[in-house]
Amino acid sequence: MARSGARREVPPNDPRHLRPLVEALVPLLVPRDGPPLDWCPDAVVDTVTNAPRRDRLGLGHITRIVEALSAEDMRKRCAEIVDAGQLDERCRAWLAGAPDWWGMAGTSDAGLGDDPSAVRREVRKRLAAEQKSARAEEALARERTEVSDLRARVSELEAALEKSSAESAALDESLQAARMDLRHERDRHAATKGRLERAIDQAGIADAATQEAEEVRDRVLDERRELLSDIEHLSGMVKSAETLLAGLRAMLPAPREGDRREPVQIPGAYTGLPDRAADHLMRCGATVIVDAYNVTLGRLGHLEIAEQRERLLSACEQLAARTGADIVVAIDGASIVGAHARGRRHVRVLYSPEGVDADDTIREELSRVPVTRPVVVITDDQAVRSDARALGANLINSPVFADLLWGR
């Protein structure tokens, strides 16, 4: 311990006594309203940027800045930009590279004189300030860690949402397949029922016939028993299909009361640019429902209907692959050859049942899509456009959509 009344000894290379120099250099090396000097070390830039307060740097900040500027060329550059007249002898000696700079007089010694109690008070004050700065740095590090953890959690939630969307799409596809199977089963059931009715009529005629007619009646009765067995089997299959359909519907998220689909907002920069707005809607993750012949007749009206249909589906396939849109093409007539074939990778095709207009098929598909998913309808039919707009769908004119498919 130093003798009472003796001059306080400065520890060698103690960076706290260079605080006046560091506080004078920081505004010059890393200005508040401009970029740092091109030769300023990255360690100085990072330390000043991450400090809670630039005007109250802690001991740790001072130490890192002094270490980053301790090279001889750095000291010379610092001496060129700082006003040496404002520095004490100790700071000027450090800039000049003097090996015993810590033995020079400095502002950190001013006002202390030979009073040991004043020295101790000053040391305690500085230690307390340095500890407070260190605690602030630790708190900042903890907050950054918490922010990083929150960002990771947000990423996990986004991944879970994407997975849920994929599962919903798979359920939607299964539900569509179940509906088609149920339709086929009902058709077979109706055909079998017709056969049964014809068999009953033949059995009635056989009652009044001769022995030969009785033999025919026996054969008819045998056929009737076989048909009844078939009907029972088909009825069980229909019930199973209906049960599967009900289960798939139950797995879909039920819309909450009062929920309503909101149209996709078009950026203001696309105002007056229908082609740019349409391309934006194709890339927003919406279900796109296309009125097939409403689009083709304006552009491909000189071709046969079958050729129009094939060109439209091929172009929609390319558009879906390019934009990632979920495109559904509504076509009149379920009796078209190949209507129920599953040969499309990116496009679903809805053929309207016998006696049902494609416009009604579009309305049914629009009402089936969950309200949480945006929908875009491609048609010029005013009635369909009015219904689609009432259900919160975006609308694209057929000529604009044709330009997206085949260019102008």
Share of the chain above pLDDT 90, in %: 29
Residue spans per domain, the chain: 15-114, 164-251, 268-406
DSSP string spanning 112-152?
Answer: TTT-HHHHHHHHHHHHHHHHHHHHHHHHHHHHHHHHHHHHH
pLDDT digits (tens, 9 = 90+) for 174-190: 888 888 888 888 888 88
Residue 170: C-alpha distances to residues 163, 166, 252, 348 (Å): 11, 6, 11, 13
What pLDDT was estimated at residue 119?
46
What pLDDT was estimated at residue 126?
64
pLDDT digits (tens, 9 = 90+) for 343-352: 567 899 988 8
- Beta-strand ranges (E) seen in 6-126 are none
Q: Which comes out higher in pLDDT, residue 362 or 353?
A: 362
Question: How many angstroms from the chain centroid is the CA of residue 384?
Answer: 31
- Beta-strand ranges (E) seen in 249-397 are 287-291, 326-331, 347-351, 375-378, 394-396
pLDDT digits (tens, 9 = 90+) for 133-167: 778 878 888 888 889 889 999 998 998 898 888 88
- Beta-strand ranges (E) seen in 193-274 are none
Q: Indicate whether 72 pLDDT > 80.
A: yes
Q: Which comes out higher in pLDDT, residue 392 or 122?
A: 392
What pLDDT was estimated at residue 4?
42
Q: Indicate whether 254 pLDDT > 90.
A: no
Nearest Cα residue to 238 out of 226, 249, 248, 246: 246
pLDDT digits (tens, 9 = 90+) for 24-56: 888 888 998 889 999 999 999 998 888 888 777
Euclidean distance between CA atoms 113 and 145, whole angstroms: 46
Q: Indicate whether 69 pLDDT > 80.
A: yes
pLDDT digits (tens, 9 = 90+) for 270-292: 988 999 999 999 999 899 999 99
Euclidean distance between CA atoms 389 and 395, whole angstroms: 7
User: Is residue 133 a contact partner of residue 59, using CB atoms and an 8 Å limit?
Assistant: yes
Q: Indicate whether 58 pLDDT > 70.
A: yes
Task: Calculate the average pLDDT of the chain.
Answer: 81
What pLDDT was estimated at residue 329?
95
User: Fold for domain 164-251?
Assistant: Helix Hairpins (1.10.287)
Q: Which residues pair with 395 in a beta bridge?
A: 377
User: Is residue 61 a contact partner of residue 133, using CB atoms and an 8 Å limit?
Assistant: yes
Q: State whether the Cα torsion 182-186-188-192 is positive or negative.
A: positive
Share of the chain above pLDDT 70, in %: 80
- Tell me yes or no: is domain 268-406 CATH 1.10.3470: no
Which of 27-31, 337-341, 368-372, 391-395 has maximum average pLDDT?
A: 391-395
User: Is residue 395 a contact partner of residue 376, using CB atoms and an 8 Å limit?
Assistant: yes
